[in-house]
Amino acid sequence: MRICVAGALGKMGRRILEVSGWEEDIQVCGAFDLPQFAGRVISYGGEKSTPKEISLGSDAKTEIQKADVLIDFTQPSSSLQHAELAYQLKKGIVIGTTGLSAEQEQTLKQYAKEIPIVYAPNMSVGVNLLFRLVKEVSECLGLDYNVEIVEIHHNQKKDSPSGTALRLAKEVADGLNLNLQTQAVYGREGVIGPRKKDEIGVLAVRGGDVVGEHTVYFIGHGERIQLTHIAHNRDNFARGAIRAARYAYANKPSLYDMMNVLGFR
């Protein structure tokens, strides 16, 4: 399978290139970043395999045309531009960018009528298992336990709370049959009174170089249950993205997420 990597000089782009170099069935045919970096040669795959090299292209459309699937971890407006190009070229696309608006997500749904799109806030296998567990625990415990979600990320992360935390909150809301739009509380300040029974608390912490940590607390009387996922590096996200690319390549046009990729639905 031939892939193209958008944002190839970014934290995730570099890891996707590196991990791709370890996979025998993956060929990196295209890569690009900001125009001023066109022509820069990137070496990848050398940590565990024979080093390979690719030169960054100057034109996104030309680079995408070379591949079967585009993998994009950039930023919302760029991801939508790249998705439009993939749509025009009839190429599959994997999007791991967080912070997309409801309107942007609706645009992806329209593109997915013609091309396969895997769109997920977190490509980690472990995190997606956490999504499933959180919903099941919420269904089991009900409103007898207060639910609070805490996420920690590095100090350069732009969006808050993380897309993963928002997805966790949605799984909790679905498990409790609540409306997330009305029940979510994003941080607390001042004299706000007692906590409501059906609140879903979400707190974002930023600092240092933390790759990602998410904990969902189910707090009852006399006990507390914690479900936590800690990412030690970005390779698990890169492996998930490559797995998602294989899925997009093998499936018909539709909008998928990692639950589909992992066979959870």
Q: What is the mean pLDDT of residues 156-182?
A: 95
In this structure, the answer to whether residues 32 and 97 fall within a common structural domain is yes
Q: Is 228 helix (H, G, I), strand (E, B) or coil?
A: strand
Catalytic residue among 82, 91, 153, 214: 153
Token couple for 243: 């797995």
Average pLDDT, the chain: 96
Q: What is the pLDDT of residue 78?
A: 97
**pLDDT score of 112 more than 90:** yes
Is residue 121 predicted with pLDDT exceeding 90? no
Strand, helix or coil for residue 2:
strand
Count, residues in the chain = 265
157 catalytic? Reply is yes
**One domain, residues 139 and 46:** no
Which residue out of 52, 61, 66, 157 is catalytically annotated? 157
82 is catalytic: no
Give the model confidence (pLDDT) of 19-56 as tens digits.
999 999 999 999 999 999 999 999 999 999 999 999 99
Q: Are residues 89 and 213 in the same domain?
A: no
> Can you give the pLDDT at residue 99?
87
Same domain assignment for residues 222 and 153: yes
Residue 217 and residue 250 in one domain: no
Higher model confidence: residue 92 or residue 121?
Answer: 92
Helix (H) or strand (E) holding 215: strand 212-219
- pLDDT at 114 (0 to 100): 98
Tell me the residue range of the domain where 25 lies: 2-119+234-261
Same domain, 161 and 101: no
Domain count, the chain: 2
